[in-house]
């Protein structure tokens, strides 16, 4: 690597943009924007915040006309800050790479944005900065086409252990599908007691994993059931018309807007999911479903 290449590689993304430009473009940039963020894949990074530094350069097309000191004719600096805010508000992330991708994707939705350089660094992991830098261009982003339509509103059903084990389970699932709306299933804790950790945070994770395990038990009872954990997986399954079973641990651990209910209140978690997805109907099968109807499993 030559000295100029080395300088550009470790300099501000502005230097990288200049060094790699096939043709000159106008640029706007954000330097040394520091935010306190909970992020990271390691256990010690959960439940605490660390400083991230954002450096962003966005190359833009010319207007083809004089700017005339009119803010509506340019891509505002605020757009860069707002992209960071929006990406951070979406959910808790493990990887800087994912965060950088989301920021770049948001900026490339702007009609004038052509190429984006995003550098994010962790400032508190040692006496140095650890980070990633990505470069994304508008062509690849815009080839993906128009945004997906609004998410269909599902039926959310909460099932007791008796309902999961009942031979009539498939009949109840058939009835849920009859209205044509997507079906989202949630489960209660299994009857087998979970291990006792003796501390709140480990116990929360143990209980969430118990709910995830029970979701797989339900999925094994009917081949239509697809176990999903993340918001992205849920939305994709709903759009595909799949019947899904929610394994709540990922959303509960990573969501920035966690429900007040814990894993030992699974019926309230079901209501939280129903609220989040804008459910058209709520059904408890052998279990209570807050704000919904209850189907008794002992009626034969």
Q: How do 183-187 and 155-159 pair as beta strands? A: parallel
Give me the helix-helix angle, 96-107 and 77-90, nearest 10°.
130
Q: For tokens 């997906």, name the residue.
A: 148
3-state secondary structure of 115: strand
| DSSP code per residue over 46-89 | TTS-EEEEEEEEEEE---SS--TT-GGGS--HHHHHHHHHHHHH
Q: For tokens 């339509």, name the residue.
A: 149
Selection from 263, 22, 282, 7 nearest residue 154 by Cα: 282
Active-site entry in 27, 92, 102, 122: 122
Which H or E run contains 121? Answer: strand 113-122
Told to judge if 250 belongs to the known catalytic residues of this protein, a careful annotator would answer no
3-state secondary structure 233-295: HHHHHHHCCCEEEECCHHHHHHCCCCCCCCCCCHHHHHHHHHHHHCCCEEEEECCCCCCCEEE
Name the residues annotated as catalytic: 122
């Amino acid at each position: 690597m030559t000295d100029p290449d080395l300088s550009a590689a470790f300099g501000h993304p502005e230097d990288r943009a200049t060094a790699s430009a096939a043709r000159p473009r106008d640029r706007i940039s954000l330097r040394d924007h520091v935010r306190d963020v909970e992020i990271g894949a390691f256990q010690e990074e959960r439940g605490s915040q660390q400083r991230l530094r954002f450096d962003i350069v966005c190359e833009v097309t010319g207007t083809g006309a004089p700017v005339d000191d009119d803010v509506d004719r340019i891509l505002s600096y605020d757009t860069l800050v707002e992209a960071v805010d929006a990406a951070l508000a979406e959910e808790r992330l493990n990887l800087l790479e994912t965060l950088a991708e989301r920021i770049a994707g948001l900026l490339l939705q702007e009609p004038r944005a052509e190429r984006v350089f995003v550098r994010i660094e962790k400032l508190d992991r040692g006496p140095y900065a650890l980070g990633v830098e990505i470069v994304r261009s508008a062509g690849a982003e815009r080839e993906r086409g128009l945004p997906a339509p609004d998410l269909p509103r599902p039926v959310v059903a909460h099932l007791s252990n008796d309902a999961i084990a009942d031979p009539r389970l498939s009949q109840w699932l058939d009835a849920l599908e009859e209205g044509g709306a997507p079906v989202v299933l949630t489960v209660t804790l299994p009857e087998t007691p979970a291990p006792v950790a003796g501390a709140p945070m480990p116990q929360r994770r143990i209980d969430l994993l118990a709910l995830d395990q029970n979701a797989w038990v339900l999925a094994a009872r009917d081949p239509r059931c697809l176990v999903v954990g993340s918001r992205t997986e849920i939305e994709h399954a709903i759009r595909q018309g799949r019947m899904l079973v929610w394994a709540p641990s990922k959303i509960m651990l990573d969501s920035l807007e966690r429900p007040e209910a814990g894993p030992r209140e699974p019926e309230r978690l079901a209501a939280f999911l129903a609220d989040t997805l804008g459910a058209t109907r709520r059904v408890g099968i052998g279990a209570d479903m807050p704000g919904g109807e209850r189907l008794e499993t002992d009626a034969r």
